[in-house]
A and B are shown apart, each in its own frame.
Chain A
Amino acid sequence: MESTKKQYWKGLEELSKDPEFVKHADKEFSEYLPTNSELEETEAGSTRRDFLKLMGFGMAAVTLASCEAPIRKAIPYVNKPVDVDPGVANYYATTYNQGGDYASIVVKTREGRPIKIEGNKLSKITQGGTNAQIEASVLSLYDKERLAQPLKGGEATDWETLDAEVAAKLTDIAAKGGHIRLVSNTIMSPTALKAIEEFKAKFGNVELVQYDTQSAYGLSKAHKDIYGVAGVPSYHFDKADVIVSFDADFLGSWISPIEYSKGYAKTRKLGPKKKTMSRHYHFESNLSLTGANADYRTPIKPSEQGSAVVALYNEVAAKTGGTSVSGGGDFANVKKAAADLVKAKGKSLVVSGSNDPAIQTLIASINMALANFEKTITLNDYSNARKGDDAQMSNFMADAKAGRLDAVVFLSCNPVYNHSKGAELAESLKKVALTVSTSDRNDETASLVNYVAPNNHFLESWSDSEPKNGTFSLGQPTISPIFKTRQEQESLLSWAGNTTSYFDYLKNNWKENFSEGKEGLAFQSFWDKCLQDGIYETSKENFEINYTMSDDNQAAATIANNYKGDGFELALYQKVAIGDGSQANNPWLQETPDPITKGTWDNYVTVSLSDAKALGITEYEGKSIKVELTVNGASHKLPVVIQPGQAKGTLGLALGYGRKNGGKVANNLGFDANPLVGTLNGGAYFSVTTGVNLVATDEAYQVARTQTHQTYMDRGNIIQEASLKEYQKDPMAGREVPMIATWQDQEHGKVKATTLSLWKGHEYPDHHWGLAIDLNSCTGCSACHVACVAENNIPVVGRQEVINRRDMHWMRIDRYYSSNEEELAKTDGLVDRLAALDIASENPEVTFQPMMCQHCNNAGCETVCPVAATTHSTSGLNQMVYNRCIGTRYCANNCAYKVRRFNWFKYHDNEQFDMNSSMNNDLGKMVLNPDVTVRSRGVMEKCSMCVQRIQSGKLEAKKEDRRTNDADITTACASACPSDAIVFGDMNDDNSQLSQLLRIKNEEGDYGIDKQVNEERAYAVLEETGSKPNVLYLTKIRNTDKKESHA
């Protein structure tokens, strides 16, 4: 082929290979082509535009550089602990045991930080329940006001110095035969007692003095005297058909509320297969949590405690052929209670909260007459929950006052604050040569002693407990000590010269006592099993109990002699959340509304409606006055709450407030009522029956209450209730099913409001989460409430913001009183009637209604949000997208249930809210749940149905390639509930507990898939609005004879 090497050239330059051309030959354009704009610029070099560009870039760069991005260092483990995976929670079984309050718990830790406490379901005592104080105790771990190191004379020191000096002084005192006292609240730990024995053995003249802030001395003394039992009896509320309680707040604060709630709730459950429930009579002065749950409640004065018990004694005696004792009186419901008790012989239970051995003697005799022992009351497995000996404590006080003591060691107790003679003790301590406290903070007692050897928090400690004879519980640390603190048992041992670590000491003790001869590996596996389970039950042999008859006449005579009332009578009580005030520095507890008054951050005098009227005390929208309370000559100006259910002529006042050295949150909140506690028949007496007076002052004051309207205004769409008899006849009793007239009336009649909708509904192809809340077993105890706060990083807003009605609680417990029937009867016309409905009854029926986001299928909030920040999930959850929210609050306004909470301020890292310690200091922040966002200012938040738990449960199931089941997921509230009133589950799963409870049938409805709930008691609050919530309530059924006034 002929090569055709024709050359084409662009111009003569190429042909002639002009050097100028060759230079640029490789470029497309041989010359630089200026752009249009540059054509204008004749000058070479930098142009005006270049200048502007550079300026602009410079400005932008400088501006950007000034926006400093916060540096967060995530440092990986150099040596990763085997069982810690970032992002994966670990759970450890341990034991909560504080001053006799016991629960077996499981602690959730994340990256080594305990963040949440759950109940241990393996425990036969607490059965997986918790209470408000236990749930909140995890925050107390991160209290930066705990002591960070030992103190000597109020100054920081180190352990070596302290140990050397204390041991030397103790040895000196022991050598001189000096008197040494260990003062403590109830110690139910066998190993701790062993350590104390060792301490005693070393120093000779040592006595352990136990006292309880909520003493059951009378109860244990009576049972010791009569039956020779060294503890308080075990009560089995689950086996009782009739329960009579004299001032025993067994669901709230009396001895072992979780255990009792679990049992009690079993008797209150109703369903198609169980149409009976227990009947509960209650006699008390203040309206307690337990009284609020009673079917029949009789308000009595504290001075009538004895005669009411005598009255019941005589009634029961008359019916069972016993002999009556002198005394007694005429009290409403006593005859009826006696008749019911006798009918339910062997299946009844009479308890009293009194601390008077005489009353407890009669109570024991009543139970004996009713043949309740070995059935609803057992003594073999007596409880160690209250071992305090008031008589011994009084002797100690007297000894201290007389200067007879040489050394006193306070074991994590604070008698200067929480004992009635605290002020006297404070003086006496000056006369004691060596005073030591193991308190975790420089509290009222610790600030007066020579040495403070701060104890670990229980979550940093090894421990064991024997809550009931033969039932043991182990406690393991879930974090290494945050501060330079040491377990008090280890302190005692080291002063006694034993340098074993308490862990070894504990393990050895278990080896000796429980290993049943197992050695080596066998013991190790036994130990590991106990540690994993947290509990261990031995089969201790039952001991023989000598059921002798007590001297009831003597007891009755003592009662007749001791109880005298005159004028106003004051009844002191402990609140469910604050208790004796030992956790008063815990803001979660301070902001937990009292279940009854709904008051926070304060204690106050509760006054009955009629007394308030007589004294001219009024309350309007939460605003009231201060009153002047005079007790035995001393006057105190206190806030007041008008309390329906308060016995006429009585006043209530909570202990646990007025801390002076409790910490920044606790100090100077409320009034310290401990000095008002008296003594009666040897025991601490929590009432003042003479010398009490009350007058109104004109000083305005507002108690921070989260609820200021007390009745439900007879609105059947909120609370649906019936009596047991009605329920037995018709399971639909008390239900109010809204019916709506349509144009098809003629043919079909009215239709259910819920069948009509503008919306097409949602399809839930996979899961459909829901909650059922049994109003009948909800006791109002608020464990769920605090669990929710802990789980969901809910901020504390402080007293003033609660007054401003801005509490942030995602879950609240609405407490409603029945309206005053007499006032209603007097009314004429709708306007009058509505005004009268707002007035609570003098002795009301009480209903508790936990209220959280109802996760409506037709949610008011979802449609109104302009930016779609709240949406519906494919599994029925109403979701809140914090980072999309712009804060118009329209959703909250349009929420019929008012469960949405707005971040009015920035609650974290803000000095204004330093009481919100879980978000305002680095230590407190360790409690935050890393799976839940801390919300910023200006966004809306609300219950998410613990979506983080749902997600993690779904992941677990996915890993195992199966569908989720009940065991995978539960919400924080349902998990905490000691009465199993809250049930979470998947409504699409026929096997879930929820589906079974509600008897759900999935049906193809008019619009989408509809859930047919067949349980007659189940209802949705505000059903007629068509919001179709995924939270359903079960009607409240009261075991009363009287016809329910509410239709």
Chain B
Amino acid sequence: MQVSSPIREPLIHGGKTLHDVSEDICRQVEAKPSTAWKIGFVISLAALSIGAISVWVLLWDGIGVWGLNKTVGWAWDITNFVWWVGIGHAGTLISAVLLLFRQKWRMSINRAAEAMTIFAVICALMFPAFHMGRLWLGFYWALPLPNTFGSLWVNFNSPLLWDVFAISTYFTVSLVFWYVGLIPDFATIRDRAKNKISKAVYGGLAMGWIGGAKDWSRYESVSLILAGLATPLVLSVHTIVSMDFATSIIPGWHTTIFPPYFVAGAIFSGFAMVLTLMLVTRKLFKLEDYITIGHIELMNIVIIVTGSIVGIAYITEFFIAWYSGVPGEQYAFINRATGPYWWAYATMMTANVISPQLFWVKKIRTSIVSTFIISIIVNIGMWFERFVIVVTSIHRDFLPSSWAMFYPTIHDVGVYLFSFGFFFTCYLLFSKYFPVINIAEIKGILKSDGEKK
């Protein structure tokens, strides 16, 4: 039972009883899918299928179907990768870091955020895979596996290899964390199930959970341990992703500010994505009492903070470029803001630095419509941030003879669409078949008196 001051705003509104909670959340799982869900699912599947054509063409014909060239060796692929990884940050942050800080408001959103994390990380992983010239070999050559090629080993100096470790660790821990949290809820659904198939399936998923004191004790310990494990990962994953750039020698990439700047950016975009999804889920699944304006406001505050960190990082980069006196560095940043990709830079600045500042106004940060719009704008901005970093830095680096432009092709768009299709297909399946809010935990924070509010 939650012990908190009576003057505190309750986290769950509507005077829900314990039974109400089970009802409200299990309803989605047990009822037939709604029309809105079906429409969404069809759209997602369509996106996935259309995108699959591009993926097929990419794998069949070669990386040349993308718009990359001899100067710009990475563009949408790595932009999308970093963007999805960034989105995949919120889940762990909410469930692990906020757990350690005992932020109980996280309980309404952590399940969906974690699911989103897992799907986003899978989407992110697609891009390093697809961008490889020889995926059929790369998918296992990039791992430090004992092999028969002599004493051939991976290159531990390469940040790409660090990525492999960082992201696979993050993915594994997130997946386990998410699944462990789901077990008591699967048991709830199992116990409520009316047909045999549901009972069998959810029974299997619940792994024999009986809800005894021992179960709960182990559940709590595992959650705490996993939270402890996951917390450094929140910082490490994007730090290591940023090192793909920071350890290089390309002006605009070779920047020591990248690790904290990337982590802040990741949380920024992750929260924005959580908001986008939660606002829709909340509405469709009628979970307004569980995900309240209070939640939204708190998340918006995180967005202001991280958005401001990102803004300061942008300005710092410019300052350092000027202060360093290195002509290549200065050109890279001036070119960023005034060169042929100025529009990408302008989009990034507007969307990431200016738009979140609107949340200083209480009316805006407590308005669902404006939160929804800004959360989408922030994610567009964050995509452009990665595009600006990846493409505008290499498209004009050291030797002007090699300067070139990058023009995306239909297949750049197609593969990106594929990742979207995959993400939403997974998210919709999750929201239909899995409890979108942690039933067990949320019951712990109900006001004991069930007071109506």
Contact = CB atoms under 8 A, between A and B. Distances in A.
Interface of A: 621, 707-713, 715, 717-718, 801, 804-807, 812, 814-816, 830-831, 834-835, 838, 849, 851, 860, 863-868, 884-890, 892-894, 896-898, 900-906, 936-940, 1021-1022, 1024-1025, 1027
Interface string B59-85: 001111001111101100000000000
Given A718-B400, A894-B249, 11 more contacts: A713-B400, A814-B399, A816-B400, A834-B331, A866-B161, A886-B137, A888-B128, A890-B244, A937-B62, A938-B62, A1027-B249
Interface residues of B, number: 57
Contacts of A903: 62, 133
A713 B397 CA distance: 12
B403 A708 contact: yes
Main DSSP-derived SS at the A contact region: loop
Given A905-B62, A938-B133, A1022-B398, A807 B70 contact: yes
Contacts of A1021: 399
B164 interface: yes
Interface string B158-189: 11110010000000000000000000000000
A866 B155 contact: yes
5 closest A-B pairs (Cβ-Cβ)?
A887-B133, A938-B133, A904-B64, A886-B138, A805-B69
Given A713-B331, A804-B69, A887 B63 contact: yes
A893 B394 contact: yes
Contacts of A867: 138, 141-142, 154-155
Nearest to A808: B70
B160 to A, nearest CB: 4
Nearest to B138: A886
Given A713-B331, A868-B155, A851 B62 contact: no
B217 interface: no
Contacts, number: 181
B154 A866 contact: yes
Most buried by A among B64, B331, B340, B401: B401
A864 B73 CA distance: 14
Contact of A902 (B70, B326, B330, B398): B70
A816 B399 CA distance: 10
A893 B152 contact: no
Contacts of B38: none
B338 interface: yes
B152 A884 contact: yes
Contacts of B158: 863-866, 890
Main DSSP-derived SS at the B contact region: loop
Given A830-B330, A938-B134, A868 B64 contact: no
Contacts of B128: 888
B334 interface: yes
B50 interface: no
B131 interface: yes
Nearest to A804: B69
Contacts of B398: 715, 717-718, 896-898, 1022, 1025
Contact of A830 (B69, B334, B397, B399): B334
A607 B142 CA distance: 51
30 contacts: A715-B327, A718-B400, A806-B69, A814-B399, A816-B400, A851-B401, A860-B249, A863-B247, A866-B155, A866-B164, A868-B155, A886-B132, A888-B132, A888-B133, A888-B160, A889-B63, A889-B68, A889-B133, A893-B248, A893-B394, A894-B248, A896-B249, A896-B398, A897-B399, A898-B70, A898-B398, A900-B70, A938-B62, A938-B63, A1025-B398
B157 interface: yes
Nearest to A713: B400
Most buried by B among A812, A892, A939: A892
Contact of B400 (A709, A884, A906, A1022): A709
B354 interface: no
Contacts of B142: 866-867, 886
Interface string B400-414: 111111000000000
Contact of A868 (B133, B154, B330): B154
Nearest to B77: A889
A50 to B, nearest CB: 31
B250 interface: yes
B153 interface: yes
B330 A887 contact: no
A867 B132 CA distance: 12
Given A864-B160, A887-B132, A893 B250 contact: yes
Nearest to B398: A896
A940 B132 CA distance: 11
Contacts of B394: 893
Contacts of A712: 400-401
Contacts of B71: 805, 898
Contacts of A707: 401-402
A718 B402 CA distance: 12
Interface in B325-343: 326-328, 330-331, 334-335, 338, 340
Interface string B133-156: 111011001100000010011110
Nearest to A936: B134
Contacts of B63: 887, 889, 902, 904, 938
A806 B70 contact: yes
Contacts of B400: 709-713, 715, 718, 816, 838
Contact of A893 (B73, B137, B161, B334): B73
A716 B401 CA distance: 14
B57 to A, nearest CB: 12
Interface in B294-324: none
Contacts of B133: 885-889, 902-903, 937-940
Contacts of A717: 328, 398
A860 B398 CA distance: 13
A1024 B329 CA distance: 12
A827 to B, nearest CB: 13
Given A711-B400, A864-B158, A889-B74, A806 B331 contact: no
Contacts of B396: 709
Given A886-B133, A938-B132, A938-B133, A709 B62 contact: no
A805 B73 CA distance: 11
B68 A904 contact: yes
B334 A834 contact: yes
Contacts of A718: 398-400
A863 B400 CA distance: 24
A867 B156 CA distance: 9
B265 to A, nearest CB: 20
B251 to A, nearest CB: 10
A888 B159 CA distance: 12
B404 A708 contact: yes
Nearest to A738: B326
A1022 B250 CA distance: 12
A835 B335 CA distance: 9
A799 to B, nearest CB: 15
A866 B159 CA distance: 7
A857 B72 CA distance: 24
A900 B141 CA distance: 21
Nearest to B133: A887
Interface in B235-293: 244, 247-250
Contacts of A904: 62-64, 68
A509 B135 CA distance: 64
Given A867-B141, A937-B133, A898 B69 contact: no
A884 B134 CA distance: 10
Contacts of A708: 403-404
Contacts of A709: 396, 400-401, 403
A702 to B, nearest CB: 11
Contacts of A864: 157-160, 247-248
Contacts of A849: 401
Contacts of A940: 133
A694 to B, nearest CB: 27
Contacts of A901: 70
Contacts of B328: 715, 717
